[in-house]
Structure 1
Amino acid sequence: MTGLRVRGMSYEDRLHAADLVVRPGETVGLVGPNGSGKTTLLRCVYGTLAPTGGHALLDGADLRAMGPRERARRVATVPQESSAEFELTVRELVALGRSPHKRFWEGDSAADLARADAALTRVGIADLAERPYPGLSGGERQRALVARALVQEPELLVLDEPTNHLDIRYQLEILSLVRHLGTGNLLALHDLTLAGAYCDRLYVLKGGRILAEGTPAEVLTPALLHEVYGVEAEVIPHPRTGSPLVVYLTAPAPRPAVERDLSVM
């Protein structure tokens, strides 16, 4: 198996000829400032955007050429934001992850619900199974969406800021869980220290272009952080794990306020 290979992926003026690889069982992170193209790249991979150039291959098969059901059997996504308008219980929402594996008229079987309950336990919200999904907090909804992705049993898991709205305990638990699923994982993260701790490799984006790729230790350097984020930082190894810890020393100077010409008032 070759995993995911993205070649020359472009989308309008937001993403430019991106090349990327996620091997089976590997966790790969996308990092970069807001507007750098991380979400656009993920959306091109999982199919909500049609790239204007390039393609994404999963084990040699073009994801764009797959039908929605086949793609959903092989790729699960956890988007940055999701609608909370549908009136489903948390268990019913999570069980929807089995839909690509069933005929459209089939309801939830006992096995489907058992998978949903097991996934809810893994993400720490088994006690919320009968709660209405719209009534959950942002962090609880995020964990429910991860559980739904687990129930899909995909080859590739794509996550856009999966730790948004989560307190630190669940940030660590979700990323540890993702890392040990055995799937290929592609995720966008803002927290560089978390990215360094839980990703095997990182791709750094700025202005829709990939500037660097490598292990966290290779990529998270003071020089690169200054180039990409405009900040001064030190990168030191974690005392136990050796993963890079990013310590920010300075922030960019604030932009000067526009002076008002009081003579015309």
Structure 2
Amino acid sequence: MNPSTGHPVELAVEDVGYGIDGRTLLHGVDLTARPGETVGVVGPNGSGKTTLLRCVYGALRPTSGRVLLDGADAGSMGVKDRARRVAVVPQDASGTFGLTVREVVAMGRSPHKRFWEQDGPDDARRVAEALETVGAAGFADRRFDELSGGERQRALVARALVQDPGLLALDEPTNHLDIRYQLEILTLVRALPATGLLVLHDLNLAASFCDRLYVLEAGRVVASGTPGEVLTEELLSQVYGVRTRVGPHPTTGGPSVQYLPPDARGTYDGRSAGGR
């Protein structure tokens, strides 16, 4: 299956800030993703990862800076125009109550259709192929709201695939998935012609599937580069407050992170084991 017929988008996040209720959640973030690249955003809880992704796909409007898609200001695009370029796999799905999985996946075709236009044979073929690709064909006619978390995640990935995006933005795409589907979904995302922007918690998955990483801490980019450049013991101690050993993966040669227990004093690199 070749789910994307559009060209991969070049993404540029320029000095993006976001604040609400007197709190600043993003501070002048710069990020780029070249066409066809898979870029990961990592960092501890509350670091601004999801806020940044929402600014990229348009759920939030930055309070400063701008997001460019192929050099065009995304903030000036209409909802439908932006949806033709960017597909999103969110952590939760609204507007799906009572719909079957097949109907939820078919929603991904709506940016390419007039509001009165019905689905045709080509749409049905794309939906069926996407369902098969993510391993969701067996529950295509079940109600989406009755699915397990992992089944929902696979359906949302399928919906994004049929959208034919140039940029695929995924917020924790492996959340709720067992190991097999974690690997299959990320392998699929990496193989797509679309540009990929992924928020991930699992640093070893990020190292294996991303070309470059951006590390956020308290709404700021504190490191960026290849996984080998970014995932160091020093940085993980600084940002996450944990002791690690980082060495080459025996198969890929990329960085592999092993987490160590507290030292003899019950601390993680000088911080108490109870927290930061």
Identify the TM-score tier after normalising by the shorter chain. over 0.9
- Does 2:78 match 1:71? no
CA displacement 1:232-264 (0-9 Å, x = unmatched): 1011111111121100113543449xxxxxxxx
Q: In 2 relative to 1, CA 53–84 (structure 1 residues): closer, same or farther, beyond 3 Å?
A: closer
- For 1:214 and 1:85, the matched residues in 2 are separated by 37
* 8 A contact 2:9–2:85 mirrored in 1: no
Match of 1:59 in 2: 70
* 8 A contact 2:249–2:256 mirrored in 1: yes
- Cα deviation for residue 132 of structure 1 reads 1.1
Match of 1:160 in 2: 171
- Cα deviation for residue 27 of structure 1 reads 0.2
- Cα deviation for residue 56 of structure 1 reads 0.5
- Does 2:70 match 1:50? no
- Cα deviation for residue 85 of structure 1 reads 5.2
Counterpart AA for 2:126: R
Deviates more, 1:70-79 or 1:81-90: 81-90
- For 2:221 and 2:129, the matched residues in 1 are separated by 38
Find runs of 4+ consecutive structure 1 residues off by over 4 angstroms. Answer: none
Match of 1:89 in 2: 100
Match of 1:28 in 2: 39
* 8 A contact 1:98–1:152 mirrored in 2: yes
**What stretches of structure 2 of length at least 5 have no aligned partner?**
1-7, 263-267
Match of 1:244 in 2: 255
Instruction: Please state whether the residue corresponding to 1:250 is helix, strand or coil.
Output: coil
- Does 2:215 match 1:204? yes
- Does 2:17 match 1:10? yes
For normalisation by structure 2, the TM-score amounts to 0.90
Instruction: Please state whether the residue corresponding to 2:244 is helix, strand or coil.
Output: strand
Deviates more, 1:147-156 or 1:235-244: 235-244
- For 1:255 and 1:189, the matched residues in 2 are separated by 24
CA displacement 1:59-107 (0-9 Å, x = unmatched): 0111111000000000000111223751111111101100000000112
Match of 1:40 in 2: 51
For normalisation by structure 1, the TM-score amounts to 0.94
- For 2:181 and 2:139, the matched residues in 1 are separated by 15
Match of 1:177 in 2: 188
Match of 2:202 among 185, 191, 204: 191
Counterpart AA for 2:71: G
* 8 A contact 1:84–1:133 mirrored in 2: no
Instruction: Please state whether the residue corresponding to 1:82 is helix, strand or coil.
Output: coil
* 8 A contact 1:163–1:174 mirrored in 2: yes
- Cα deviation for residue 108 of structure 1 reads 1.6
Counterpart AA for 2:10: G
Counterpart AA for 1:29: G
Counterpart AA for 2:30: D
- For 2:112 and 2:94, the matched residues in 1 are separated by 23
* 8 A contact 1:84–1:134 mirrored in 2: no
Instruction: Please state whether the residue corresponding to 1:72 is helix, strand or coil.
Output: helix
- Does 2:222 match 1:215? no
Which structure would you say has the larger Rg? 1
- For 1:199 and 1:9, the matched residues in 2 are separated by 22
Instruction: Please state whether the residue corresponding to 1:194 is helix, strand or coil.
Output: helix
* Aligned positions, number: 256
- For 1:76 and 1:247, the matched residues in 2 are separated by 33
- For 1:200 and 1:241, the matched residues in 2 are separated by 13
CA displacement 1:131-173 (0-9 Å, x = unmatched): 1111111000001000000000010000000000000000000
- Does 2:154 match 1:143? yes
Instruction: Please state whether the residue corresponding to 1:153 is helix, strand or coil.
Output: coil
**What stretches of structure 1 of length at least 5 have no aligned partner?**
257-265
Instruction: Please state whether the residue corresponding to 2:260 is helix, strand or coil.
Output: strand
* 8 A contact 2:9–2:166 mirrored in 1: no
Match of 1:259 in 2: none
